[in-house]
Amino acid sequence: MAGEFIEPTSEKKVHIGSRDISEILQERFERLSAADQSFFQSGSVFLALNGGLCGLVSNSLFRRVLNVTQARIVSALPMAVLPFISTVVAYECFINRPLMEGDLNCATCAWIRGGLIGGVIGCVYPAVLALPLNAALASRYLTTPMPGQENMLRYWMMVCKPVYKKMRFAAILQIAFGGYLASKNHEIYIKMLQLPQPEDPEEIKDKI
- The SS3 of residue 33 is coil
Do residues 47 and 87 make contact, with C-beta atoms less than 8 angstroms apart? yes
Tell me the domain boundaries of the chain. 45-194
Do residues 69 and 143 make contact, with C-beta atoms less than 8 angstroms apart? yes
Do residues 163 and 127 make contact, with C-beta atoms less than 8 angstroms apart? yes
Give pLDDT tens digits for 36-91. Answer: 999 999 999 999 999 999 999 999 999 999 999 999 999 999 999 999 999 999 99
Question: What's the CA gap between 90 and 44, in Å, rounded?
Answer: 9
DSSP string, 141-171: HT-SPPPPGGGHHHHHHHHHHHHHHHHHHHH
pLDDT of residue 19: 53
Give pLDDT tens digits for 115-124. Answer: 999 999 999 9
